[in-house]
Structure 1
Amino acid sequence: MRIRPSLSLILSLTVLSLVVLGLTSAAFAQSSSAPAGRTLIRAGHLLDVHTGKLLDSQTIIVTGDRITAISSTASTPASTGDTVIDLGSLTVLPGLIDVHTHITGNPDFDPYRELTGTDAKDAINGVVNARTTLMAGFTTIRNVGASGYVDVDLRDAINAGQVPGPHMQVSGPPLGITGGHCDENLLPIRYHLTGDGVADGIAAVQQKVRQNIKYGVDVIKICATGGVLSKGDSLQASQYTLEEMKAIAADAHRLGLKVAAHAHGAQGILWASEAGIDSIEHGSFIDAAGIAEMKKDGTYLVPTLYLEDWMMESGHLPVFYQQKMKDAIAVAKPNIRRAYEAGVKIALGTDAAVYPHGLNAHEVEVYVRDLGMTPLAAIQSATLNGADLMGWTDRAGSLDAGKWADIIAVDGNPLADVKLLQDVKFVMKAGVVYKGTGAK
């Protein structure tokens, strides 16, 4: 998704503060802190995403924001002071992870609406969409692109308990070339409007990486090729050169951050992997050379495929985006299936904002139906693999002692029907219940 350039960082900060103050009631402040003492979650069934085993009658012991133990319910009696949450026959599994969202955006691509957007509106969108995403069972996301560092402010507000939302890693403004997918190309020269992250040449991209880190990002996002939702560029044309991408990856890695590359075209995919980029986002035109390189380098592929289904059913794009969307849809699923079958690592991403937030779990169904994944592999792409890509295997992605108490529950066996993940009945994030039994 193309990100609108910053119009007012100061206004963004002010409005986000007002939104935060408006939502922070005494009741919410109490509910956003994990309860003191132990919480015992009684589950009819528990899915071990490491092995695919479905364990019956399990109790997850939560202390503060962490899981401290998991054992059979029969051997885990409640003690005085414990809080017991009985989920009956529901199946619990770890909170899901979406590594490609645009939490501050919505699926409205009318050019006038794009050009009259503000960081303030994005901040408000982010507060609403973060809650929607959490309630859908996605307790962790990576936000890859937002103007004015609005996603940095949103992450911090969530972490402070001021507004509800997932754990977040954020990129701030994505880096891109002049006139490329991450620039602003809708206005003529007289307006001299340039995207926040535009940088050309090795020195400039190094400065932009460092600037984003200065303002608090967790991951660097770049545009390696053209995109669908941008005017005047080609999906298949590489935008950053191999040398520029190497410079980006080297600086980001040296400073402790990973890099995600928006890339549809085959050349850009190949170069990004060769440059040491950690993940390829979209990957529509990936070819044999790119597949081989990604497998060799251990580069993650982050498909964003459900949006294609949604776009064909409900999307309304301006004419100058329509053909590019059709071109991507024509090749993406078979190409990505070949990459998966060849052994390229897959982490679930959705491009939420290109379709409505909260439908993220439909991506799991697409992976099973169109990529040939088993239900367990598809669920692992949204749990273990997402946590691995984010560098958060010590805190998310599975139900293990020591990790965040990020727990969801569904009515039935998701290994038999992954569509159950589209109707989550219970959501706990970091020991706090936001949906279902025990929610405040």
Structure 2
Amino acid sequence: MKKIFLSFALLSFFSTLCFSQKEFSETTKKYIAYNEPITVFKNALLIDGFGNAPKQHQTVIIRDGKIEWIGDDAKAVVPKNSKILDLSGKVLMPGLVMLHEHMYMPAYSLENRYSHTNQQPISFPRLYLAAGATTIRTAGNVETYSDISIKRDIDSGKFPGPSIELTAPYLEGNASVFPQMNELKNPADAIAFVNYWADQGFTSFKGYMAIDKPTLKAAIDAVHKRNLKITAHLCAVTYKEAAEMGIDQLEHGFFASSDFVKDKTENECPNNPELALSNLNPESDDVKELIQFLIDKKVGVTSTLAVFEGFISSQPVPSMELLSYFSPDNRDFYLKILSQMQSAKTPSVMDKAFVNNAKMEKMFYDMGGLLTVGTDPTGNGGTIAGFGNWRAIELLVEADGFTPLEAIKIATLNGAIALGFDKTVGTVEVGKSADLLIIDGDPSINISELRKVEFVFRNGVGYDSKKLFESVKGKVGFN
């Protein structure tokens, strides 16, 4: 009985605090610009998140953290004692819902630069929120109790950050390249693992590269028995095999698909799956059949183009602004890796794989699939929270070929649908949480204008984006 009560208490704690918190620490207050019971946004160019054309001269009224009224400025009845913000020349849009985020980044060593990771409990939550991500899913963790503490401290008002959907530790097999990951021995081990972390309050799970079919199937069934969701970064198991098992989502677009590797050994990860992707014809019947199979099985796909851009020859030169956020050691190591890659000059296998993956993501969306987007701040070390969020969304337009409004929908409503949160976040609608962005530009015309976010409202509380960014400049990599 005590165990049941504790589990209920933990789940209630995780799910309700972020919507009821009114008190903030002195640390958090430094970044709050607006925190009134009633706030009125007038003269806004409104992007609703549904993919509709923006509406001019719109008023949005929020009360106690919820959206109370939306309509034309001329029809608005402004409540007494409300804070009025004139948004002439600015955009009001939903907060971003990003689905492949982490609280860590690569930590480098002389032996193997990707052998372990470095937790970022202060800088990453602030960067996510500053860039406009009001809801994130962590999509796997390597410091479990740290992630729990980060969420608890944000929800309690101690530190600023987004609403976090906590993903449990990775469901990995017997050949992990990360010593920080647990290795599951068999299906029974997977069931016990899922139940243990679900009892601790985790509501999301993620399979990883070396997990085999029997173990993944046991994990999927155990997760669904708890009415929770599971995604995966696969390799040893193919996309079709996972879809047949009932998995909810797949990460990294089609980069992690081993379905087209010739002579693939069952339950083994091929050495170079991106080679098969690079040689693939995206218009082939085999590709279309796989995509349709995923759609029929209601399997979502998360695009993470920003992290893979770091491995192609045409990746952009990092801006001085981006580099200014790194700690000196992390910045120098990242630039060293980047220099080595750029000196090769010749296009790599990843170049063609990147193009083919982008085409397949667009096909998946156009055929009716639920495409979401995430950052994955790992890779060559240059993709970090915040800046990586923006780049991932920009690449939906630049690489995949989506319109800016489609990209915004993928980064807001689609993410909310995938999490099962679309009744509360993801669009600007009456009754939903006041998770809103004020942008000094128009991302519906130029998606890069997302980078001009000024204020981020989470549950009706407005945070100063610039102050959040400035607070972690030069510190990414330290914490």
TM-score by length of 1: 0.78
1:130 counterpart letter in structure 2: P
Unaligned runs of 5+ in 1: 1-23, 185-194, 226-238
1:353 shift after superposition: 4.0
Instruction: Say which SS state the counterpart of residue 71 (structure 1) adopts.
Output: strand
Corresponding position: 1:340 with 2:310? no
Corresponding position: 1:216 with 2:225? no
Corresponding position: 1:404 with 2:433? yes
Distance in 1 (CA, whole Å) between partners of 2:176 and 2:202 is 22
Superposed CA offset, 1:169-199 (max 9, x none): 1113111012235x42xxxxxxxxxx44321
Instruction: Say which SS state the counterpart of residue 414 (structure 1) adopts.
Output: coil
1:328 shift after superposition: 4.7
Instruction: Say which SS state the counterpart of residue 372 (structure 2) adopts.
Output: coil
Q: How has the CA–CA distance of structure 1 residues 157 and 33 changed in structure 2, closer, same or farther, with 3 Å as cutoff? A: farther
Unaligned runs of 5+ in 2: 1-23, 261-286, 319-333, 469-479
Instruction: Say which SS state the counterpart of residue 434 (structure 1) adopts.
Output: strand
Instruction: Say which SS state the counterpart of residue 106 (structure 1) adopts.
Output: strand
Q: Which residue of 2 aligns with 1:356?
A: 384
Q: Which residue of 2 aligns with 1:71?
A: 71
Instruction: Say which SS state the counterpart of residue 359 (structure 2) adopts.
Output: helix
Distance in 2 (CA, whole Å) between partners of 1:331 and 1:78 is 53
Q: How has the CA–CA distance of structure 1 residues 116 and 158 changed in structure 2, closer, same or farther, with 3 Å as cutoff? A: same
Q: How has the CA–CA distance of structure 1 residues 43 and 348 changed in structure 2, closer, same or farther, with 3 Å as cutoff? A: farther
1:89 shift after superposition: 1.4
1:176 counterpart letter in structure 2: E
Q: Which residue of 1 aligns with 2:190?
A: 205
Match of 1:269 among 239, 242, 245: 239
Distance in 1 (CA, whole Å) between partners of 2:350 and 2:176 is 17
Q: Which residue of 2 aligns with 1:102?
A: 102
Paired residues for 1:419-438 under 5 Å: 419-435=448-464
1:280 shift after superposition: 0.6
Contact 1:409–1:424 (CA<8 Å) still a contact in 2? Answer: yes
Q: Which residue of 2 aligns with 1:244?
A: 215
Contact 2:303–2:361 (CA<8 Å) still a contact in 1? Answer: no
1:36 shift after superposition: 5.1
1:331 counterpart letter in structure 2: A
Aligned residue-pair number: 382
Q: Which residue of 2 aligns with 1:415?
A: 444
Q: How has the CA–CA distance of structure 1 residues 372 and 145 changed in structure 2, closer, same or farther, with 3 Å as cutoff? A: same
Corresponding position: 1:141 with 2:170? no
1:409 counterpart letter in structure 2: I
1:111 shift after superposition: 5.2
Q: How has the CA–CA distance of structure 1 residues 262 and 114 changed in structure 2, closer, same or farther, with 3 Å as cutoff? A: same
Q: Which residue of 1 aligns with 2:159?
A: 163
Corresponding position: 1:175 with 2:134? no
CA RMSD of aligned residues (A): 3.1
Q: Which residue of 1 aligns with 2:408?
A: 379
Q: How has the CA–CA distance of structure 1 residues 437 and 369 changed in structure 2, closer, same or farther, with 3 Å as cutoff? A: closer
Instruction: Say which SS state the counterpart of residue 84 (structure 2) adopts.
Output: strand
Contact 1:62–1:68 (CA<8 Å) still a contact in 2? Answer: yes
1:109 counterpart letter in structure 2: Y
1:308 shift after superposition: 2.5
Paired residues for 1:122-133 under 5 Å: 122=119, 125-133=120-128
Contact 1:285–1:335 (CA<8 Å) still a contact in 2? Answer: no
1:78 shift after superposition: 2.9
Distance in 1 (CA, whole Å) between partners of 2:437 and 2:232 is 30
Distance in 1 (CA, whole Å) between partners of 2:356 and 2:428 is 33
Contact 1:306–1:362 (CA<8 Å) still a contact in 2? Answer: yes
Contact 1:34–1:430 (CA<8 Å) still a contact in 2? Answer: no
Q: How has the CA–CA distance of structure 1 residues 148 and 310 changed in structure 2, closer, same or farther, with 3 Å as cutoff? A: closer
Distance in 1 (CA, whole Å) between partners of 2:87 and 2:467 is 10
1:117 shift after superposition: 7.1
Q: How has the CA–CA distance of structure 1 residues 285 and 258 changed in structure 2, closer, same or farther, with 3 Å as cutoff? A: closer
Distance in 1 (CA, whole Å) between partners of 2:206 and 2:135 is 18
Distance in 2 (CA, whole Å) between partners of 1:290 and 1:336 is 15
Distance in 1 (CA, whole Å) between partners of 2:25 and 2:409 is 37
Instruction: Say which SS state the counterpart of residue 238 (structure 2) adopts.
Output: helix
The range that moved more, 335-344 or 385-394, is 335-344
Q: How has the CA–CA distance of structure 1 residues 434 and 32 changed in structure 2, closer, same or farther, with 3 Å as cutoff? A: closer
Distance in 1 (CA, whole Å) between partners of 2:457 and 2:196 is 35
Contact 1:34–1:65 (CA<8 Å) still a contact in 2? Answer: no
1:130 shift after superposition: 0.4
Instruction: Say which SS state the counterpart of residue 157 (structure 2) adopts.
Output: coil
1:116 shift after superposition: 9.9
Q: Which residue of 2 aligns with 1:21?
A: none
1:107 shift after superposition: 4.2
1:144 shift after superposition: 1.3
Corresponding position: 1:61 with 2:57? no
TM-score by length of 2: 0.72
Paired residues for 1:248-263 under 5 Å: 248-263=219-234
2:48 counterpart letter in structure 1: D
- Percentage of identical aligned residues: 25
1:243 shift after superposition: 2.5
Contact 1:101–1:351 (CA<8 Å) still a contact in 2? Answer: yes
Instruction: Say which SS state the counterpart of residue 335 (structure 1) adopts.
Output: helix
Match of 2:423 among 386, 389, 394: 394
Corresponding position: 1:298 with 2:294? no
1:357 counterpart letter in structure 2: A
Q: How has the CA–CA distance of structure 1 residues 295 and 385 changed in structure 2, closer, same or farther, with 3 Å as cutoff? A: same
1:49 counterpart letter in structure 2: G
Contact 2:174–2:211 (CA<8 Å) still a contact in 1? Answer: no
Distance in 1 (CA, whole Å) between partners of 2:467 and 2:36 is 14
Q: How has the CA–CA distance of structure 1 residues 65 and 212 changed in structure 2, closer, same or farther, with 3 Å as cutoff? A: same
The range that moved more, 72-81 or 171-180, is 72-81
2:362 counterpart letter in structure 1: Y
Q: Which residue of 2 aligns with 1:15?
A: none
Distance in 2 (CA, whole Å) between partners of 1:202 and 1:51 is 42
Q: How has the CA–CA distance of structure 1 residues 207 and 328 changed in structure 2, closer, same or farther, with 3 Å as cutoff? A: farther
1:374 shift after superposition: 1.9
Distance in 2 (CA, whole Å) between partners of 1:271 and 1:145 is 21
Distance in 1 (CA, whole Å) between partners of 2:466 and 2:78 is 17
